[in-house]
């Protein structure tokens, strides 16, 4: 067999290895996609204080129904709606205006019937509205003579700051701007809590508010009158899967105990308690349920102790980082070998992995939601996060594998060929051992990148250190942010140390 034939066969082996590795990725991502009958009831929450409080109430009421339950913090409305319809969560608090304007994109004559066609049920209003509105500092509004939204037409110089979801929603800024014919062009996206602080510090002039926000009273803001009636009514309701009533009818009964029991002042006080006093959402929710519905365990936090939370988030973070890194090694090393063996293919491989690396991490994460929904039937949680981290890990490992193999001195390769070794033996016994340190350095870089990037998994309910970081940003709670940031930094240092030890071990072996 000629050397050329051996090289060709070696290329086929590499391609086969990459294909097997891709199958391994699907296997890694698939666990948990099925819906076991005895799984806990999962109550979803958006990443803002009020939604977390209501979800905490839902989880506690589910336990009153005799079923194990947990809260799962996801991102915005699209992530929650997807998680509900695909079965990742069973129930979550939503608002009627959001259902009609953003999710259904219509105002059906019978909202219950329209949702039932999608396998979703809706409860009766919980007793309060959390309407969208626009807010300003009172002194700024007074100086400019602004009391209602239509007054904004005469002030194109105003600086606006909105959450990113509000910038995209049809019932958000695009609709308000069109409905009122507003001229403002200086509009930026920012976190809701940070927008309030920017407003108070006069970094912006106007932001969106929720009418039950505690910050309205805390910062003494003016809520502009919706004088042309753009915003619909946002009644707080439970949205839950139709099969929840079949599986756990008592849970649905318990959830409905909350209907009509929360007033707008009640919700404002609970939001303010969490935001201003930095109290735990679970404690606030439990105290309200104990007072209004006589539900027990009101004095306990659902999040447990600091040590327990750190253990949980660390395990979750490792379940994102380790599978994605292993999958990347299984794919990237064969691709690097293929690139080194076939320069024409190598240029394509390096270009493609390089382009992937240039995609913003959050954009790639969100792009993987529909992809993983199609591949493994699970578009939220760990699968899209692991898939995005896997893609980000490819370039460092592919590039270092390629560099390590092409950097081997030609005389060494020629000596191996002169001994009559087949191509696969030369690769396995000579080239890969010589390139091992370079390949390991690429894996080291990929691992450190993964540890940091994995914190973005908190946006889609993947857990890990991103969860306390995002909750801390929402509450502007620095200790809570550090609860995720410091362990992430320590884990990155630990990964660096482990790879340093591995490289030393390889060096000692020659």
- 247-280 residues labelled b (16+ CB within 10 A) or e (exposed): bbeebbebbebbeeebeeebbbbbbbbbbeeebb
d(CA 171, CA 175): 5
Contact 342, 336 (CB under 8 A): no
Domain 3-30+306-508: assigned CATH number: 1.10.3720.10
d(CA 274, CA 272): 5
Q: Which pLDDT tens digit goes with each residue over 122-179? A: 999 999 999 999 999 999 999 999 999 999 999 999 999 999 889 988 889 999 999 9
Pairing of strands 187-189, 160-162: parallel
Q: Which pLDDT tens digit goes with each residue over 65-120? A: 888 888 888 878 888 898 899 888 999 999 999 999 888 888 888 899 999 999 99
Q: Which pLDDT tens digit goes with each residue over 448-458? A: 999 999 998 88
d(CA 463, CA 382): 8
Pairing of strands 69-73, 41-45: parallel
Q: Which pLDDT tens digit goes with each residue over 276-301? A: 888 888 899 999 999 999 887 655 55
DSSP state of 258: T
Contact 238, 124 (CB under 8 A): no
CATH of 132-223, one of 3.40.190.120, 3.40.50.150, 1.10.101.10, 3.40.220.10: 3.40.190.120
Contact 244, 251 (CB under 8 A): yes
What the block records as the tokens of 145 is: 């003579």
At residue 301, the pLDDT reads 56
d(CA 172, CA 58): 27
3-state secondary structure of 236: strand
Model pTM? 0.76
Contact 52, 281 (CB under 8 A): yes
By mean pLDDT, which of 272-281, 329-338, 368-377 is the weakest? 368-377
By mean pLDDT, which of 76-80, 267-271, 396-400 is the weakest? 76-80
Domain 41-128+234-292: assigned CATH number: 3.40.190.10
Same CATH topology for 41-128+234-292 and 132-223? yes
What the block records as the tokens of 418 is: 């002169």
Surface-to-core class of residue 209, CB atoms within 10 Å of its CB (0-12 exposed, 13-18 middle, 19+ buried) = buried
- Give the CA count within 13 Å in the CB-facing half-sphere of 272: 15
Please report, for residues 258, 355, 389, 393, 401, the alpha-carbon distance to residue 398 in angstroms, rounded to integers and kept in the order given: 55, 13, 15, 9, 5
The H-or-E segment that residue 366 falls in is helix 361-376
Domain range summary for the chain, segments of one domain joined by +: 3-30+306-508, 41-128+234-292, 132-223
């Amino acid at each position: 067999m000629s050397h050329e034939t051996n090289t060709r066969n070696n290329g086929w082996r590499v391609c086969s290895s990459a294909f097997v590795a891709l199958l391994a990725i699907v296997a890694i991502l698939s666990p948990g996609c099925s819906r076991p009958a005895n799984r806990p009831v999962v109550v979803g929450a958006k990443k803002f204080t009020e939604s977390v409080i209501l979800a905490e109430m839902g989880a506690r009421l589910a336990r009153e129904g005799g079923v194990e339950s947990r809260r799962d913090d996801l991102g915005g409305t699209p992530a929650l709606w997807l998680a509900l319809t695909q079965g990742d969560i069973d129930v979550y608090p939503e608002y009627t205006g959001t259902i009609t304007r953003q999710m259904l994109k219509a105002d059906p004559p019978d909202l219950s019937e329209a949702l039932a066609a999608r396998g979703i049920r809706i409860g009766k209003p919980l007793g309060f509205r959390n309407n969208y509105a626009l807010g300003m500092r009172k002194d700024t509004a007074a100086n400019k003579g602004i009391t209602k939204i239509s007054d904004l037409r005469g002030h194109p110089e105003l600086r606006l700051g909105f959450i990113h979801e509000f910038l995209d929603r049809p019932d958000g800024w695009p609709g308000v701007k069109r409905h009122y014919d507003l001229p403002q062009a200086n509009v930026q996206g920012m976190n809701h809590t940070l927008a309030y602080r920017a407003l108070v510090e006069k970094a912006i002039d106007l932001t969106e508010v929720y009418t039950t926000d505690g910050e309205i009273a805390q910062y003494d803001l003016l809520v502009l009158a919706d004088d042309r009636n753009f915003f619909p009514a946002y009644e707080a309701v439970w949205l839950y899967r139709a099969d929840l009533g079949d599986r756990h009818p008592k849970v649905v009964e318990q959830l409905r105990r909350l209907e009509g029991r929360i007033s707008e002042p009640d919700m404002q006080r609970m939001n303010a308690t969490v935001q201003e006093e930095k109290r735990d959402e679970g404690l606030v929710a439990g105290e309200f349920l104990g007072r209004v519905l006589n539900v027990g365990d009101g004095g306990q936090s659902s999040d447990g102790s600091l040590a327990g939370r750190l253990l949980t988030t660390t395990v979750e973070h490792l379940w994102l980082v380790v599978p994605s890194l292993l999958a990347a090694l299984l794919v990237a090393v064969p691709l690097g070998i293929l690139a080194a063996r076939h320069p024409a293919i190598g240029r394509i491989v390096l270009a493609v992995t390089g382009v992937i690396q240039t995609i913003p991490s959050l954009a790639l994460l969100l792009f993987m939601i529909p992809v993983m929904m199609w591949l493994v039937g699970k578009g939220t949680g760990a699968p899209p996060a692991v898939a995005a981290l896997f893609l980000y890990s490819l370039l460092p490992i592919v590039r270092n594998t390629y560099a390590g193999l092409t950097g081997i001195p030609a005389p060494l390769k020629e000596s191996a060929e002169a001994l009559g070794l087949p191509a696969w033996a030369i690769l396995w016994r000579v080239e890969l051992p010589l390139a091992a340190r370079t390949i390991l350095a690429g894996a080291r870089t990929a691992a450190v990148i993964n540890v940091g990037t994995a914190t973005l998994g908190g946006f889609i309910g993947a857990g890990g250190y991103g969860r306390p970081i995002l909750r801390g940003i929402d509450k502007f709670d620095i200790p809570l942010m550090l609860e995720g940031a410091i362990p992430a930094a320590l884990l990155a240092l630990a990964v660096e140390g482990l790879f340093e030890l591995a490289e030393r071990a390889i060096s000692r072996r020659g």
